[in-house]
Amino acid sequence: MEKFSLYIDGKFVETADCFESINPATEKAWASIARAKQSEVGQAVSAAKRAFDSGCWSGLSAGERAKFLYQIADALERHAPMLAAIETKDTGKIIRETSNQIAYIAEYYRYYAGLADKAEGSFVPVDKPDMHVWLAREPVGVVAAIIPWNSQLFLTAVKLAPALAAGCTMVIKASEEAPAPLLAFAKVIDEVDLPAGVVNIITGFADDCGQVLTTHPDIAKIAFTGGVSTARRIVQNSAQNLAQVSLELGGKSPFIVFDDADLDSAVNAQLAAIFAASGQSCVAGSRLLVQSGIKDKFLSQLLARLDGIRIGAPDDMATEYGPLCTQKQIAFIEQVVANSLVQGAKLLVGGKRLNRQGNYYPPTVLDCTAAPQAECVMTELFGPVLSVDVFDSEEEAVAKANQTAFGLASGVFTTNLSRAHRMTKAIRAGVVWVNTYRAISPLVPFGGYGLSGHGRESGKEAMLDYTTVKSVWVRTSDEAIVDPFVMR
């Protein structure tokens, strides 16, 4: 069994307690994971605090920090095959996806390396002629990053790269589910030879790791990606240290297809939107809203394509669809699907776990036109389940798209340019894709509305979120300040 250690203060750290990680494709334990408890969390935060206060990172010039970020990008590319293999083994994500994604993640570190010296201050022309005032941006301090198991190296990059560029230090907590890829990423950090304590990587469970980290008095900011229930606990925890909090949560994203859309393109995008990564994506386009006149044609094409999906071992490059990460998630999906059928939804395909070793649950489509409020329509499943509803007018499409407490992503398929612009304005979501889906770039901010969280990742805005503004007043007059207690 492979062993994975914590990474604290520039060293790999063993712990008294460990736990096992399960390979989703075999349902067998394959790795022993060091478990951080209160003492290790304290060591990690202390190391990050010391690195920040000493100036060994925050005191570097932006150009010097940028050089380290370029080195991380290069090292990440060198280790990409190793990281992709570990992520596939630990999470069940197919190797063709992990390989492509990790190769692109390096661009995020390069982007923020180039942005590191762009956090400019500004001169303020105040109404006092004897005052010279400017604003300076400074790093917020020690950041706690809480990372989920899915796409964890990407979700680390969109936090770590801007935080390092801004001059912050960080303690990264990997999910207790499938944490091996992020712990393996410590080898990349160690190879770059950052100053000790700048980046620390730990994992553990909620009460003796997550809660200790997010309530720690030396944490200045918490950057969290995950579910709503955990986010609520983190917000409560932040009341202890009054840390800034950014939340990138889940979604129930509408995928809207008008009758003038290119159907072949829309079908391909819908397949990618909900069945890529076996549906385990926060931006999954899990609610298909299709104009009523093309519903049958669209579903016919979609279901025909599902018949040809190659389901197999995630480490096989020929596999197009792999297992889900945990048995717990399958059980949850099965219950929601069963409830939805009772509520009036109609099962078109899938709906029952596959009879094979591993956490395999098939692509599932539910026609919910007779049950638009069914549980599968309103609940984020984080799995390969697509609910289908129809609309007749543009106004109805908008109303149904916005009929959710979430607001992370959305997709609109139409060849009518005017309609596309109206839809992008009307939909309440942090991301609107038009005639595409799941496109990302380090230059473009990403985040949501409502229960999908607040704050943005990627883009210049993300780096500025890891800074705070300092106002500097300089009195330029040579005259003595008047006595405040002398009446004039």
Contact between residue 346 and residue 310 where contact means Cβ atoms under 8 Å apart: no
Residue 487 has pLDDT above 80, yes or no: no
Mean pLDDT score, 75-98: 97
Question: Are 319 and 339 in the same domain?
Answer: yes
Residue 156 has pLDDT above 80, yes or no: yes
CA distance 195 to 222: 22
CA distance 200 to 271: 37
Q: Calculate what percentage of the chain has a pLDDT beyond 70.
A: 100
> Which entry of 97, 248, 380, 457 is annotated as an active-site residue?
248
CA distance 48 to 378: 41
Question: Are 260 and 233 in the same domain?
Answer: no
Helix (H, G, I), strand (E, B) or coil at 307: helix
Question: Are 380 and 465 in the same domain?
Answer: no
* Average pLDDT, rounded, for the chain: 97
Residue 274 within any structural domain of the chain: yes
CA distance 306 to 321: 10
Q: Determine the pLDDT at residue 303.
A: 97
pLDDT in tens, 369-416: 999 999 999 999 999 999 999 999 999 999 999 999 999 999 999 999
Total domains, the chain:
2
Closest to 150 (Cα-Cα) out of 385, 357, 3, 329: 329
Closest to 364 (Cα-Cα) out of 386, 333, 389, 379: 386
Q: Determine the pLDDT at residue 486.
A: 87
375 tagged catalytic: no
The dihedral through the CA atoms of 382, 388, 392, 396 has a sign that is negative
pLDDT in tens, 17-32: 999 999 999 999 999 9
Question: Are 156 and 241 in the same domain?
Answer: yes
pLDDT in tens, 415-458: 999 999 999 999 999 999 999 999 999 999 999 999 999 999 99
Question: Are 158 and 210 in the same domain?
Answer: yes
Residue range of the domain that includes 7: 2-249+448-473
In the numeric block, which tokens belong to residue 296?
A: 């049958």
Closest to 442 (Cα-Cα) out of 116, 115, 166, 111: 111
Residue 488 within any structural domain of the chain: no
Query: What b/e readout covers 207-238, taking b as 16+ CB neighbours within 10 angstroms?
Result: ebbbbbbbbbebbbbbbbbbebebbeebeebb
The one-character DSSP state at 452 is G
| pLDDT band (50, 70, 90) for residue 240 | very high
CA distance 197 to 445: 28
Residue 274 has pLDDT above 90, yes or no: yes
